Amino acid sequence: MNKTNETLFERAQQVIPGGVSSPVRAFRAVGGTPRFIVRGHGPRVWDAQGKAYLDYVLSWGPLIAGHAHPAVVEAVSRAAQGGLSFGMPTEAEIELAELIRASVPSLERLRFTSSGTEATMSALRLARGFTGRSRIIKFEGCYHGHADALLVKAGSGLLTFGNPSSAGVPAEAAQHTLVLDFNNVAQLEETFAREGDQIGAVIVEAVAGNMNLVPGSAEFLQTMRRLCSQYGSVLIFDEVMTGFRVHPGSAQGLYGITPDLTTFGKVIGGGMPVGVFGGRKDIMQCVAPLGPVYQAGTLSGNPVAMAAGMATLNLTLAPGFHERLTVLTRRLVDGLNLIGRDLGGRISASNVGSMFGLYFSAAPPADFAQVMSADREGFNRFFHQMLERGVHLAPSAFEAGFMSSAHTEEDIDATLAAARASLEADS
């Protein structure tokens, strides 16, 4: 049978719901047929029909050094030769944990999981166990994985499909979750004044990347830090997406704010399943086997995944890595803004480090309401125009884009030419 994206998608849907292993991949928001990828190398992926795409999804962030980086593939191959998993401690876990703590010192202690969802779920349970308070605060449009208590007015795929909360989440699980407006300082102050002594945790994406890219304001995050300290609430920075991407010290290094707990994922696994939750020693001491907060995982700290993460982080620690990546990302963003100005403000763009936002609005949004006012249909048409021109963006107007060190200036310039042609074709 000739394997096309369409025939593979048809076959996939006979056995996998929506034909995908994660909803955002199904192209439901943008329409059309997902590309079934057969290989990736550097900044590109190739689909089942042999078509190449410049990739700005990069597995939703992990592949900061590009696809199949030789150092990462070599490390994974070497680790695999020695066994895939033991369910027993290994030195590789110690080495990666020490490397993460050296880069982000607020993680005095940390534990590995196999996904970002497990990391945030564990951090939340830990914060509740440490404070004895069930109430938590999250922000509309922020996505922290699919643990029940966090699937309330969330971003990413839930926003993409317009159902910001999920079926199947019992009211009891969501009743303790307060959802506030991202970047709304007054509302945060009022909430804490009213019930701060009942707030167990605040969880936030300091730079939101699941309602497109919306940076938290310094005042918003500083106020959050001050109030959590004042009321004894645990401040959790969900850095699954921003970690080791927006700054050498992650978002907390960029803003100069020290959270009580942090979660990582994506980049720290380099494309293999790795999550982390960690932070203040006095809080982390509450985790089993030391304390009463249970948390576990068969493949947590998997040696092959550790090898991928170690090789990837070592690449990002090379002198000038982040600076070069940010310059490359700025080249794309500045080029997109120039096109936006030439075409009557139809698009705008911004970046934080090597995360970028492309907006179908005249200016980058500063909050959820502004994100929702963008021209979603315009983005969807643009997405397919770019796909035809060999550029694969995230298949949703509500996702951030990512740059890798494998992308070149020529790749960026080709992307900008495709963007200009795509918009002119749609005028």
163 backbone φψ class: left, alpha, beta (φ>0; ψ -120 to 50)? beta
Strands (E), 181-265: 199-204, 207-208, 214-215, 234-238, 261-264
Residue 220: CA atoms inside 13 Å, Cβ hemisphere, count? 20
* H helix or E strand, kind and range, residue 278: strand 275-279
As measured in angstroms, the least distance from the Cβ of 145 to ligand KE4 is 3
Task: Please report whether residue 225 would count as binding ligand KE4 according to CB under 6 A.
Answer: no
User: Which among 53, 266, 359, 367 is annotated as catalytic?
Assistant: 266
Could you say which residues in the range 110-129 bind ligand KE4, by CB under 6 A?
115-117, 120
As measured in angstroms, the least distance from the Cβ of 242 to ligand KE4 is 7
Contact residue for ligand KE4 among 157, 278, 303, 335 (CB under 6 A): 157
Strands (E), 34-160: 37-41, 44-47, 52-55, 109-113, 135-139
Contact residue for ligand KE4 among 55, 93, 140, 238 (CB under 6 A): 238
Stretch near ligand KE4 under the rule CB under 6 A, chosen from 98-106, 235-243, 289-297, 330-338: 235-243
Whether 266 sits among the annotated catalytic residues: the reply is yes
How many beta carbons lie within 10 A of that of residue 23, not counting itself? 17
Binding mask 25-44 for ligand KE4 (x = CB under 6 A): --------------------
Q: Are 63 and 42 in contact (CB under 8 A)?
A: no
As measured in angstroms, the least distance from the Cβ of 25 to ligand KE4 is 6
Helical pair 321-342 and 303-316, crossing angle rounded to 10 deg: 70
User: Which among 53, 56, 143, 255 is annotated as catalytic?
Assistant: 143
Task: Please report whether residue 147 would count as binding ligand KE4 according to CB under 6 A.
Answer: no
SS3 for 90? coil
Helical pair 91-103 and 303-316, crossing angle rounded to 10 deg: 30
Q: How far is Cα 51 from Cα 35, in angstroms, rounded to an integer?
A: 9
Could you say which residues in the range 370-399 bind ligand KE4, by CB under 6 A?
399
Contact residue for ligand KE4 among 79, 188, 240, 276 (CB under 6 A): 240
Binding mask 398-427 for ligand KE4 (x = CB under 6 A): -x----------------------------
Q: How far is Cα 85 from Cα 82, in angstroms, rounded to an integer?
A: 9
261-278: burial string, b at 16+ Cβ within 10 Å, e else: bbbbbbbbbbbbbbbbbb
User: Which among 47, 55, 238, 260 is annotated as catalytic?
Assistant: 238
Whichever of 207 and 391 has its CB closer to ligand KE4, that residue is 207
Task: Please report whether residue 159 would count as binding ligand KE4 according to CB under 6 A.
Answer: no
Task: Please report whether residue 145 would count as binding ligand KE4 according to CB under 6 A.
Answer: yes
Contact residue for ligand KE4 among 205, 260, 367, 411 (CB under 6 A): 205
| Residue count, binding to ligand KE4 (CB under 6 A) | 20
Whether 56 sits among the annotated catalytic residues: the reply is no
Contact residue for ligand KE4 among 8, 9, 19, 24 (CB under 6 A): 24
Nearest to 362 by CA among 380, 378, 386: 378
Q: How far is Cα 241 from Cα 243, in angstroms, rounded to an integer?
A: 6
Q: How far is Cα 36 from Cα 8, in angstroms, rounded to an integer?
A: 7
Task: Please report whether residue 241 would count as binding ligand KE4 according to CB under 6 A.
Answer: yes
Residue with tokens 């995982």, as numbered in its chain: 297
Whichever of 117 and 252 has its CB closer to ligand KE4, that residue is 117
Stretch near ligand KE4 under the rule CB under 6 A, chosen from 183-191, 234-242, 374-382, 384-392: 234-242
Stretch near ligand KE4 under the rule CB under 6 A, chosen from 237-245, 293-301, 380-388, 419-427: 237-245
Looking at beta carbons, which residue is closest to ligand KE4? 116
Task: Please report whether residue 144 would count as binding ligand KE4 according to CB under 6 A.
Answer: yes
Q: How far is Cα 301 from Cα 222, in angstroms, rounded to an integer?
A: 33
Whether 51 sits among the annotated catalytic residues: the reply is no
Q: How far is Cα 321 from Cα 36, in angstroms, rounded to an integer?
A: 31
Could you say which residues in the range 281-340 bind ligand KE4, by CB under 6 A?
none
As measured in angstroms, the least distance from the Cβ of 110 to ligand KE4 is 16
Whichever of 274 and 423 has its CB closer to ligand KE4, that residue is 274
Contact residue for ligand KE4 among 27, 60, 277, 359 (CB under 6 A): 60
Kindly list the strands in the beta sheet with 37-41, ordered across the sheet, starting from the edge strand earlier in the chain: 37-41, 44-47, 52-55, 391-392
Q: Are 114 and 87 in contact (CB under 8 A)?
A: no
* Residues near ligand KE4, by CB under 6 A: 22, 24, 60, 115-117, 120, 143-145, 156-157, 205, 209-210, 238, 240-241, 265, 399
Q: Show which residues are catalytic.
A: 143, 238, 266
